[in-house]
Amino acid sequence: MIKNPETFTIITFGCQMNKSDSELMEVSLTQEGFVKSNNYGDIIIFNTCSVRKHAEDRALAYIIEARNTYRQSIIIVAGCMAQRLGQELRSNYGVDLVVGPYHSPAIGSIIKNYIQNQSIRQYTSQDASDFVSRIHPSLVAHKDELPWHKWVTISHGCQNYCAYCIVPYVRGKLLSFPSQQIIDYCTLLIDNGITEITLLGQNVNQYGQDSGDIPFYSLLEKVASLPGLYKLNFLTSHPKDFNSEILHVIKDNPVIARSIHLPLQSGSDTILQAMNRQYTMKHYYSLIEAIHALLPMVSITTDLIVGFPGETQRDFEDTLAAVRTIQFDEAFTYKYSPREGTKAYTLPDSVPDTVKQERLDLLIHTVRDISRKRLMNHIHTTTDMIVERISKKSDNEVMGKTIYNQPVIIKGGKEDIGKKYTVTIVSVKGSTLYGERSA
């Protein structure tokens, strides 16, 4: 092992929650005097994902290569795979330190301790007292990819135990962070020039149910009313907990994006029940109706899984029918991937891969078709957008996102980045809207 390690690299896999955790790790390492390196450094951290087998295999390939190539570096696995595989990573892959999600924001002091005495090599306990908070004022100075935007994690973990999902096992039960801390942190962000915030949790709608804090709609309302905010987003919702109070808060606060991500997963009640999703299609349709009744212009997006154990052709057709009826603006579609430790793992993976692929292809085709038609509905409408970057196709054009979180191109230059404009949509090319700035 390198005697006095100085530099570190973090390689992040998986979801936004992991990206946010990597930010916290970077802050923790910097506070302990380590220096970030763009190449593999003295300390190499893999912040991993376990949601799909493919994600774990990919991370393992990186870990094996790093161990073989950088024999003197300290190799650390953090995140969900660290929690799931623990000791196995140390015994079979030569990993020096394993740090689960409860501990990862304190990784700087964990590494310092390891360098000094190497006595503890695994941090995977999930005792409430071991949980390191995600709300950290030092993150204010840490820029997101978009310098005016910040992800704000409002809760950690999940206790819904959807049958296919590994998250409750690797991230632990729901832990909501104190609302006042969240609001103070958002205020601090806005005071420091942040104009767009995304509230983040595995199921934000369940916020406060574990701690007795204010409900999610109330937190959403409080953050939305902070002066200086251009746009507020939230991810992810769960149909069993999404309610009309949340919708009313969206309706009354124009700063909240008109974009609701409501994972459906399957259009078949039989499969929804097998997935332990705890809602029926009747309930889901009633939510869609309520959304349209209150928010005439809104983008509704979803997640869908094909090939869950026991999914018949009829079940799949129910999913297609739901997609056609609801007319999602966008859907993220996946083939079912068995995860050891979940309830679905004990069920026979009964749908052959070729059938899963056929279903996925048809679903993607259907979603794309609808998505394009939905985009056409925006032509001649006026909407707000925030400019994100110069367009890839032309230096005289910029790309931003509308209040529906859809990409839109307008004429502009570098000086427009981060600015909010009102635009009229004039055309659609591929899956991109084109607009003109209103005078």
Nearer to ligand SF4, 253 or 278 (CB): 278
Nearer to ligand SF4, 343 or 419 (CB): 343
- Which H/E stretch holds residue 197? strand 196-200
Of 100-108, 155-163, 307-315, 386-394: span binding ligand SF4 (CB under 6 A): 155-163
In angstroms, how far is the first alpha carbon of the chain from the final one?
Answer: 62
- How far apart, in Å, are the Cα atoms of 227 and each of 88, 231, 259, 388, 405? 49, 11, 21, 22, 21
Strands (E), 250-290: 259-261
Of 160-168, 329-337, 390-398, 410-418: span binding ligand SF4 (CB under 6 A): 160-168
- The verdict on 162 binding ligand SF4 (CB under 6 A) reads yes
Other residues' Cβ atoms within 10 Å of the Cβ of residue 355: 16
CB 217, min distance to ligand SF4, A: 18
CB 237, min distance to ligand SF4, A: 10
CB 158, min distance to ligand SF4, A: 3
The token pair that represents 110 in the structure block:
């964990």
φ/ψ of 414, rounded to 5, equals: -55, -35
Of 165-173, 191-199, 279-287, 308-316: span binding ligand SF4 (CB under 6 A): 165-173
- How far apart, in Å, are the Cα atoms of 231 and each of 98, 198, 258, 304, 372? 37, 8, 10, 27, 25
- The verdict on 332 binding ligand SF4 (CB under 6 A) reads no
What is the size of the binding site for ligand SF4 (CB under 6 A)?
10
Site for ligand SF4 in 222-281 (CB under 6 A): 238
Strands (E), 73-160: 74-79, 97-99, 122-123, 149-153, 155-156
C-alpha span between 299 and 144 (Å, rounded): 24
> Is the CB of residue 398 less than 8 Å from the CB of residue 391?
yes
CB 164, min distance to ligand SF4, A: 7
Nearer to ligand SF4, 238 or 261 (CB): 238
Site for ligand SF4 in 179-208 (CB under 6 A): 202-203
- The verdict on 165 binding ligand SF4 (CB under 6 A) reads yes
User: Which residue in this structure is represented by tokens 């623990």?
Assistant: 86
CB 97, min distance to ligand SF4, A: 26
- The verdict on 161 binding ligand SF4 (CB under 6 A) reads yes
C-alpha span between 299 and 257 (Å, rounded): 9
Q: Is 39 exposed, middle or buried (0-12, 13-18, 19+ CB in 10 A)?
A: exposed
DSSP codes joined into one string, 341-354: TSSGGGS---S-HH
CB 263, min distance to ligand SF4, A: 7
Single out the residue of 14, 101, 108, 168 in contact with ligand SF4 (rule: CB under 6 A): 168
Q: Among 258, 267, 338, 268, which Cα is nearest to 300's?
A: 258
CB 15, min distance to ligand SF4, A: 10
Single out the residue of 29, 49, 154, 158 in contact with ligand SF4 (rule: CB under 6 A): 158
CB 275, min distance to ligand SF4, A: 8
Single out the residue of 113, 122, 126, 160 in contact with ligand SF4 (rule: CB under 6 A): 160
Nearer to ligand SF4, 114 or 279 (CB): 279
Residues 6 or more apart whose Cβ sits within 8 Å of residue 206: 155, 158, 160, 174, 176, 216, 238, 241
Q: At 152, is the secondary structure helix, strand, or coil? A: strand
CB 172, min distance to ligand SF4, A: 11
C-alpha span between 167 and 51 (Å, rounded): 7
Distance of CA 253 to the CA centre of its chain: 23
The mark string for 7-26 relative to ligand SF4 (x by CB under 6 A, - otherwise) is: --------------------
Nearer to ligand SF4, 9 or 203 (CB): 203
Nearer to ligand SF4, 41 or 168 (CB): 168
CB 299, min distance to ligand SF4, A: 21
Residue 236 preceded by cis peptide, ω within 30: yes
CB 162, min distance to ligand SF4, A: 3
Nearer to ligand SF4, 156 or 378 (CB): 156
Single out the residue of 29, 110, 167, 370 in contact with ligand SF4 (rule: CB under 6 A): 167
Of 16-24, 85-93, 159-167, 362-370: span binding ligand SF4 (CB under 6 A): 159-167
Beta bridge partners of 386: 401, 420
Residues that bind ligand SF4 (CB under 6 A): 158, 160-162, 165, 167-168, 202-203, 238
